[in-house]
C-alpha cells in the first residue's frame, strides 16, 4: 500500500512509559513494521507511572491481539485479566435499583479488566525501540520537526513525538478546557484479595466493573485474577479524607472483604488540552486529557489519539499537515468532550444518598455543562450532539435510521443509562 506520509516518518520519539506511552511505542512498531525507522522510547525512571487504569473498552481486545500477535487467551492470562462485559451500577439515579451498562452487542462484546503494570510489560515486548532513561525538559516545534531538550544529554530532533508524560503540572484556561461539570477530583485506591481465580489463570465468566454509589461519591470494584481493585472517587473540597476512609471501611465490611492494602490517594484533574496535535507533537494519555474513571474512558481515548495521529501522518503527504492537524485536533477534543458530557450526565439524577456530595454534584456541578461545553467556547459541537442523543431518547419512536447514532458512545449506551437512572 502506498503511504504518502511514510517517507517523512524516520525518527519518532515516545516520551513516557505508562499505559499511553507503551501503547504508542507498540503501535509505531506495528504500523511501521515493513520500513526502516528509528524509535526512541524515552522516560525518566525516577518519575513513577500512575499505575491505575484497570478498566477498558472492547476495542482494546482486538488492538492487543494485533499489536502483540498473540491469541486472546494468552493476552488475558498475561495481564491477569478478566472479561468486562459492562459496568454494573448500584444506587445511582432515582429508581433505587441496580442496572448494567452493557457493551453492544450485549453479552457478546467484551473488554478487559487488566493489571496496568502487566499491560505495559506486554506492550514493551511488542515494541522495537531504543530506550533512553532521561528527563525531558522541553519539546519545541522547529521547522516541521520537534526538538527534545534533555537534562544532562544532547538535544535530539524527531519527525514525530508522542508526549505521554502523564498529568500536566499546571492547567491554564488558555491551554485547557476545564471539564468542571464533573464533580470529583480525588481517588483512594485499595487492593483486596482476588475473588476470580482458576487453576489455569483464564477466567471465562462474564464480569462487570461495579460502580457503587456512596454518600461521598462512588466506589469502583474491578475483579482481576491477581487481586480485586477498589477505588473511592470523591471531591476533596466537599468531603474530608477521614470520612471517606471510614465509609470505605463500611463498604468493605458489607462486601465481606477480610483485608486490604492501602495503595494510594490520587488527585486528578478533569480536562482536555486544546491542542492535542500540532502535526509534529501529539499529546496522548493523561498528558492530553482526563476525566474521572466512571466509564473507563482514558485508555480508549489514548488508543484513538495514537491511531488518528499515526493514520494521518502515514496516509497524508507532509505538505497538508497544518490543515490536517487542525482537523484531527478538533475531532479529538470533540470526542473527549462528548465522553465528558456522557460521564457527567450520570450524576444528573443523583443517587439513593441525600448527602452534601450528591446535592453538590446534581444541583451545582452538572448544570455547568451548558456553559463549559458551549460550542462558542470550545470550538466544537459536542453539546449539540449530546443534546441530540437525549432528544432521541425522549421521542416516542426512535427511527431505525437513528439506531446506530453515536456521541462518543453508542445510542444504546445512552438508552441504558437513561433507563437505569430513571431520567
Ligand X SMILES: Cc1cc2nc3c(=O)[nH]c(=O)nc-3n(C[C@H](O)[C@H](O)[C@H](O)COP(=O)(O)OP(=O)(O)OC[C@H]3O[C@@H](n4cnc5c(N)ncnc54)[C@H](O)[C@@H]3O)c2cc1C
Quote the least distance from Cβ 200 to ligand X, whole Å: 26
Q: Quick one: 41 or 369, whose CB is closer to ligand X? A: 41
Q: Looking at beta carbons only, is 32 or 116 nearer to ligand X?
A: 116
Query: What residue spans of 139-233 are helical by DSSP H?
Result: none
DSSP assignments along 248-286, one per residue: HHHHHHHTT----EEEEEEE---EEES-SB-SSEEE-GG
Q: Which is nearer to ligand X, 87 or 383 (CB)?
A: 87
Q: Which is nearer to ligand X, 5 or 217 (CB)?
A: 217
Q: State in angstroms the smallest separation of the CB of 166 from ligand X.
A: 3
- Using a 10 angstrom Cβ sphere, with 0-12 exposed, 13-18 middle and 19 or more buried, the burial of residue 14 is buried
**Residue 239 phi, psi dihedral angles, 5° rounding:** -125, 145
| Distance in Å, CB of 300 to ligand X, minimum | 6
Longest dimension (CA), the chain: 65
Distance in Å, CB of 194 to ligand X, minimum: 17
Smaller CB separation from ligand X, 286 or 321: 286
Query: Which of 231, 229, 247, 250 has its CA nearest to residue 239?
Result: 247
Q: What angle do CA 19, 44, 164 make, to 5 degrees?
A: 35
- Residue 260 CB, nearest approach to ligand X (Å): 16
Please report how close the Cβ of residue 19 comes to ligand X at its closest, in angstroms.
Answer: 4
φ/ψ bin of 292: left (φ > 0), alpha (ψ from -120 to 50), beta (otherwise): beta
Output phi, psi for 313, to 5 deg: -70, -30
Report DSSP state, residue 417: H
- Pairing mode, strands 160-163 and 176-178: unpaired
The least distance separating ligand X from the CB of residue 353, rounded to whole angstroms, comes to: 21
Buried b (16+ CB within 10 A) or exposed e, 30-65: bbbeeeebebbbbbbeeeebbbbbbbbbbbbbebbe
d(CA 230, CA 383): 32
Determine the 3-state secondary structure of 142 from DSSP: strand
> Across-strand partners of 265?
188
**Do 271 and 178 touch, CB atoms closer than 8 A?**
yes
Task: At 272, give phi and psi (nearest 5°).
Answer: -140, 135
Q: How far is the CB of 290 from ligand X (least distance, A)?
A: 7
Residue position matching grid coordinates 476525566: 291
DSSP codes of every residue in 354-386:
-SHHHHIIIIIIGGGHHHHT-HHHHSS-HHHHH
Closer of 47 and 327 to ligand X (Cβ): 47
Please, which residue, 224 or 421, has the CB nearer to ligand X?
Answer: 224
Contact 313, 160 (CB under 8 A): yes
- Decide whether 85 or 268 has the Cβ nearer to ligand X: 268
Q: What is the DSSP letter of 193?
A: -
Q: Which is nearer to ligand X, 5 or 16 (CB)?
A: 16
Nearer to ligand X, 48 or 422 (CB): 48
Q: C-beta of 219: minimal distance to ligand X in Å?
A: 11
Rank residues 219 and 325 by Cβ distance to ligand X and give the closer one: 219
**Residue ranges binding ligand X (CB under 6 A):** 15-21, 42-44, 47, 49-50, 52-56, 116, 135-136, 164-166, 187, 231, 266, 268, 285-287, 293, 296, 298-299
Nearest distance in Å: CB 28, ligand X: 15
Residue 350 CB, shortest distance to ligand X, in Å, is: 22
Indicate the residue whose CB is closest to ligand X. Answer: 18
Amino acid at each position: 500500500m502506498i503511504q504518502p506520509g511514510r517517507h517523512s516518518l524516520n525518527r519518532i520519539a515516545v516520551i513516557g512509559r505508562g499505559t499511553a506511552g507503551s501503547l504508542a511505542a507498540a503501535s509505531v512498531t506495528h504500523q511501521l513494521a515493513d520500513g526502516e525507522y528509528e524509535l526512541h522510547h524515552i522516560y525518566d525512571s525516577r518519575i513513577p507511572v500512575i499505575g491505575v487504569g484497570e478498566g477498558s473498552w472492547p476495542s482494546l481486545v482486538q488492538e492487543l491481539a494485533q499489536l502483540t500477535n498473540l491469541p486472546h487467551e494468552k493476552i488475558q492470562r498475561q495481564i491477569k485479566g478478566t472479561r468486562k462485559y459492562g459496568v454494573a451500577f448500584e444506587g445511582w439515579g432515582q429508581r433505587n435499583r441496580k442496572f448494567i451498562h452493557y457493551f453492544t452487542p450485549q453479552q457478546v462484546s467484551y473488554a478487559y479488566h487488566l493489571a496496568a503494570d502487566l499491560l505495559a510489560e506486554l506492550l514493551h515486548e511488542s515494541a522495537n525501540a531504543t530506550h533512553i532513561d532521561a528527563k525531558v525538559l522541553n519539546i519545541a516545534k522547529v521547522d516541521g520537526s520537534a526538538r527534545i531538550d534533555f537534562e544532562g544529554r544532547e538535544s535530539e530532533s524527531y519527525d514525530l513525538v508522542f508526549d505521554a508524560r502523564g498529568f500536566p503540572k499546571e492547567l491554564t484556561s488558555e491551554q485547557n478546557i476545564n471539564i468542571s461539570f464533573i464533580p470529583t477530583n480525588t481517588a483512594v485506591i485499595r487492593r483486596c484479595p482476588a475473588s476470580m481465580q482458576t487453576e489455569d489463570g483464564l477466567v471465562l465468566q462474564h464480569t462487570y466493573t461495579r460502580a457503587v454509589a456512596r454518600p461521598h461519591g462512588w466506589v469502583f470494584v474491578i475483579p482481576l485474577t491477581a487481586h480485586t481493585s477498589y477505588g473511592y472517587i470523591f471531591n476533596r473540597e466537599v468531603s474530608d479524607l477521614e470520612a471517606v476512609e471510614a465509609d470505605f471501611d463500611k463498604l468493605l465490611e458489607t462486601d465481606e472483604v477480610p483485608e486490604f492494602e492501602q495503595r494510594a490517594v490520587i488527585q486528578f484533574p478533569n480536562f482536555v488540552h486544546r491542542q492535542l496535535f500540532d502535526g509534529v507533537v501529539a499529546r496522548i494519555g493523561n498528558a492530553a486529557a482526563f476525566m474521572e474513571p466512571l466509564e473507563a474512558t482514558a485508555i480508549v481515548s489514548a488508543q484513538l489519539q495514537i491511531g488518528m495521529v499515526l493514520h494521518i501522518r502515514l496516509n497524508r503527504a507532509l505538505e497538508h499537515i497544518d490543515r490536517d492537524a487542525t482537523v484531527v485536533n478538533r475531532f479529538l477534543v470533540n470526542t473527549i468532550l462528548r465522553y465528558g458530557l456522557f460521564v457527567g450526565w450520570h450524576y444528573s439524577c443523583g443517587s439513593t444518598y441525600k448527602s452534601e456530595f450528591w446535592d453538590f454534584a446534581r444541583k451545582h456541578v452538572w448544570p455547568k455543562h451548558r456553559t463549559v461545553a458551549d460550542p462558542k467556547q470550545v470550538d466544537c459541537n459536542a453539546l449539540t450532539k449530546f443534546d441530540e442523543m437525549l432528544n432521541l431518547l425522549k421521542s416516542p419512536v426512535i427511527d431505525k435510521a437513528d439506531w446506530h447514532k453515536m456521541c462518543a458512545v453508542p445510542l444504546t449506551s445512552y438508552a441504558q443509562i437513561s433507563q437505569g437512572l430513571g431520567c
